[in-house]
A and B are shown apart, each in its own frame.
Chain A
Amino acid sequence: MTKVSMTVNGTAASGEVEGRTLLSSFLREQLGLTGTHVGCDTSQCGACVVHVDGKAVKSCTMLAAEADGAEVATIEGQAAADGSLNAIQAAFQEHHGLQCGFCTPGMVMSAAALLKDNPKPSEQDVREYLEGNLCRCTGYHNIVKSIMAASGQDVSALAVE
């Protein structure tokens, strides 16, 4: 067992982990941050996406020990302290970008990383960026729409090209 320490959503967090403990398990099981989901075992579904030092990573693909000393952001830290949703979260609610909610934390965290690098993405940019995030419920229509809306674009006319 080794000790890891990191900052999670702005708060210091630490714990004892095995060498093989994944960051996703550390967040879920030791810190109780169960908003980060695990949907696969081959790094494909993106339900587990969090930000480590400002970059989107699949937390099922990173060892907790590798995140020692890092700044980690998860879905639990995205809304404001008073509970109000951030722009991406609000757009997902406004445009029905979620159904069962299981892929949603990963979608929101991926979208945040996309919009940081590409503040006005095209439909194609969004679709390509979401390659690593699976959703089985929405057919992606409203997810793509939500992310474009969150970037301030007018989505009222989006349907068939």
Chain B
Amino acid sequence: MPKDSGIGASPKRREDVRFLTGNGNYTDDINLHGQAYAAFARSNVANGKINSVDTSAAEAMPGVLAVFTGEDFVEVGGNPAGWYIESRDGTPMKEPKRPVLAHGKVRHVGDAYAAVIAETYEQARDAVEALEVDIDELPAVASSVAALAEGAPLVHDEIETNLCFDWGWIEDNRAATDEAIKNAPHVTTLELVNNRLVPNAMEPRASTANYNPGTGDYTLYTTSQNPHLTRLLICAFVMGIPENKLTVIAPDVGGGFGSKIYHYGEEALVLAAAKKLGRPVKWTADRSESFLTDAHGRDHVTTIELATETDGTFIAIRTSTLANVGAYLSNFSTCVPTFLHGTLMAGNYAVPNVYVNLKAVITNTAPVDAYRGAGRPEATYSIERVIDKCARELGIDPIAIRRKNFIKPDQFPYTTPVGLQYDTGDYDAVMDKLEEIGDLAGFPARRAESEANGKIRGLGINSYIEACGIAPSNLVGVLGARVGLYDAATVRVNATGTLAVMVGAHSHGQGHETAFPQVVAEMLGIDEGLIEIVHGDTSKIPFGMGTYGSRSLAVCGSAVVRATEKIIKKATKIAAHMMEASEADIEFKDGQFSVTGTDKSVAFGEVAFKAYVPHDFPAEELEPGLEETAFYDPANFTYPAGAYACEVEVDPDTGKVSIERFSAADDFGNIINPMIVDGQVHGGIGQGIGQALLEGCVYDEDGQLLSASYMDYAMPRADDLPFYAVDHSCQTPCTHNPLGVKGCGEAGAIGSPPAVVNAVVDALQSAGKDVTHIDMPLSPGRVWAAMNG
């Protein structure tokens, strides 16, 4: 019988009631007394020299309180890149300054160069229109290829190149990999584009700042996945506000997917404006601003080579990639295409030689940074597409070629040639599970049926691995990270036996308020309902690094476990004192402390009460109170893995692809709440299918964003997607965190795009078309052209 509480149960989410009744509290729902409104003036050219911004007419508009331009922020710092990368030749990456408001030059469409604060939102918007600006449009570069061309216009004149860095991983592998490829009996080569995407959390970004001139304290309400990181960036790098004078509150946040990790200039602007005006200042993006300024994702152009024996045994993988990082280096932009991408380039396979070359390229487009999966979808897509092509060339079944090269269960821990040590996995077991839940044996019959209906049908297989639970601080420090990536939790037991658990992770859809109490309740043998999760407020929670990279449970959940263990330890002491026994004789089980060999026991709640009413505590030996904090720094990444199957039907007359079946078998290690895990996988698959079939962020060559609204950017809708069959019963627990969990948030987005594209290529091949690759998104036009080309 399934459990109804604790680890492994699926209690209904407690956060749902407020969201279902309109009682959520998102940033834009918060209104402060006397607030004014900010609106931004944004560049409509991709590259331009700002000659002047005349604010006088705008200042005279009704309701206008202040106008800011780039000039006002030349004295403050810039928004930094959080990860230092060195080029192959040992030179440091190029780091152009990213100011709060553009000064001297605008560098992408949407780059803000001025802001107006007014009594109402409409007045602020009207006044932006009244700004008189003189900007000379300059030639621009929008693609990574164009930006590296001889004589290309420069995005930042002062760094004298558009090449941010040229990175090799691992440089010592290079010669051996080149040699292996040169001598290999078979080499499959594929050129592919990993299409640029816009994260599109449904809640647009918003920030409201308040300043108390009496105390010098600032408060910032903002749409963030990591309030402490945002505070650190604002205080230490951008504004110079003492960290103890800024509270950052990320209340309910309507999705993030990476786009709300980073600090953005609008946050600094509202803080500066609130101080200047002595009034709260609010800004909420409209969707057009989100398209123009939220950090985008992906945008890789890759050549991958896979060298094999004629029997399909892998010998070497070599890739060469251009990654577009946009006009400025967003906080994680330099780590995503390198350490979250290059290090995954061995996939699930025992391949002896791997070498990755990656050039990060600065262009006149919005910054590009982590978007669900972040680097790992790009790695998986390249590997799994080239394997499929190779299998076809060698006449080997796509599942067989993968199985042949899988790292086997007895090879773990397994160190890859690209520097990761996978702790556990069983990729054949996951593939077996996929064959079962996807009824792959029934595919030929389904194909025949489709053909009878005038459609062509294809089956696409993928197997993926990701590195999650980001990340061991000592390792990432060596690799260039400028932050640590631990997390933290405080467990506070109240006198009456209820608990508040303050966590550094932030929940914006992941259900932490439900899942974290399951862990604590299981450990303490108490009712989940007694436990409240507190997150998102730097004045209440310990310093944690927030939520991204499928890290909440693996890293912050581990901190919760460690803090709860400390609680048990302290409570054991108190219980021993209460029962006049020695600590060594106390046993804790199912919420009861008992003295071994006696019938004496006290309940957890009684101990809690005693902790706060310590009338007879021996002062020297026992402190009152029951509250503990733990910081947890993971020993390694975690390695979720899985196998996905997609079946598509292609309409031969129109090229339209429809997803007929989609099956996902994942190994996430241990599972705390299966219902939430299913939901995470569903959402990731929806985004992955979106990338494969629908979504494409398109700039023209002059850097104009052509896909800047939901009219032009095809978001997946309910009738584009099927029900998915998902399974996570294959579980090889993580060996190095106390819960044995691996993380599940990004899997769907990583595993699904290659499965979809492999399926479409399979369909076209089955119809006798000589098509080996189509770049995403596989719109009807592209598929039709490939079929008829």
Contacts and interface: CB of A to CB of B under 8 A. Distances in A.
B179 interface: no
Interface in A26-69: 28-29, 33-42, 44-45, 47
A139 B721 contact: yes
Contact of B723 (A18, A92, A161): A161
A160 interface: yes
A134 B201 contact: no
A127 to B, nearest CB: 4
Contacts of A103: 202
Contacts of B587: none
Contacts of B722: 160-161
B711 A44 contact: yes
B370 to A, nearest CB: 15
Interface in B473-511: 508-511
Interface string B183-216: 0000000000000000011111000000000000
Interface in B618-656: none
A94 B287 CA distance: 31
A98 B22 CA distance: 13
A37 B288 contact: no
B432 interface: no
A41 B288 contact: yes
B679 A44 contact: no
Contacts of B77: none
Contacts, number: 203
A72 interface: no
Contacts of B21: 35, 75-76, 78-79, 83, 85, 89
Residue with the greatest number of chain A CB neighbours at <10 A, chosen from B288, B509, B675, B685: B509
A3 B298 CA distance: 49
Contact of B683 (A38, A41, A127, A138): A138
A83 B721 CA distance: 34
Contact of A98 (B19, B204, B711): B19
Interface stretch (B100-108, B249-257, B519-527): B249-257
Contacts of B719: 124, 127-128, 130-131
A126 B717 CA distance: 11
A85 B660 CA distance: 34
B15 interface: yes
Contacts of B257: 136
A93 B16 contact: yes
Nearest to B253: A100
Interface string B10-51: 001101111111111010110100000000000000000000
Given A93-B20, A126-B718, A130-B717, A102 B202 contact: yes
Nearest to A18: B122
Contact of A131 (B23, B510, B511, B718): B718
B687 interface: yes
A133 interface: yes
B676 interface: yes
Given A41-B709, A76-B21, A101 B252 contact: yes
A102 B684 CA distance: 17
B237 interface: no
A23 interface: no
A99 interface: yes
A1 interface: no
Contact of A96 (B18, B676, B748): B676
A83 B122 CA distance: 36
Interface string B659-685: 011110000000000011011001111
Contact of A89 (B20, B31, B716, B718): B20
A74 interface: yes
B723 A100 contact: no
B268 interface: no
Given A41-B709, A42-B710, A99-B511, A139 B122 contact: no
B181 interface: no
B449 interface: no
Contact of B717 (A79, A85, A131): A131
Contacts of A105: 19, 22
Given A40-B287, A99-B510, A33 B22 contact: yes
Given A39-B287, A131-B718, A159 B17 contact: no
B192 to A, nearest CB: 24
Interface string A99-111: 1111111001000
A39 B718 contact: no
23 contacts: A20-B122, A34-B26, A36-B22, A47-B202, A93-B20, A99-B683, A101-B15, A101-B20, A101-B254, A102-B24, A102-B26, A126-B718, A128-B718, A130-B718, A136-B686, A136-B715, A138-B686, A139-B682, A139-B687, A139-B721, A158-B723, A160-B661, A161-B723
Given A92-B20, A102-B202, A160-B722, 8 more contacts: A34-B28, A76-B21, A93-B12, A124-B719, A140-B682, A141-B686, A144-B723, A160-B723
Shortest 10 CB-CB contacts between residues of A and residues of B: A35-B22, A139-B686, A101-B19, A102-B254, A100-B509, A99-B509, A44-B710, A34-B29, A75-B22, A139-B682
Interface of B: 12-13, 15-24, 26, 28-29, 31, 122, 200-204, 252-255, 257, 286-288, 508-511, 660-663, 675-676, 678-679, 682-687, 689, 709-711, 715-719, 721-725, 748
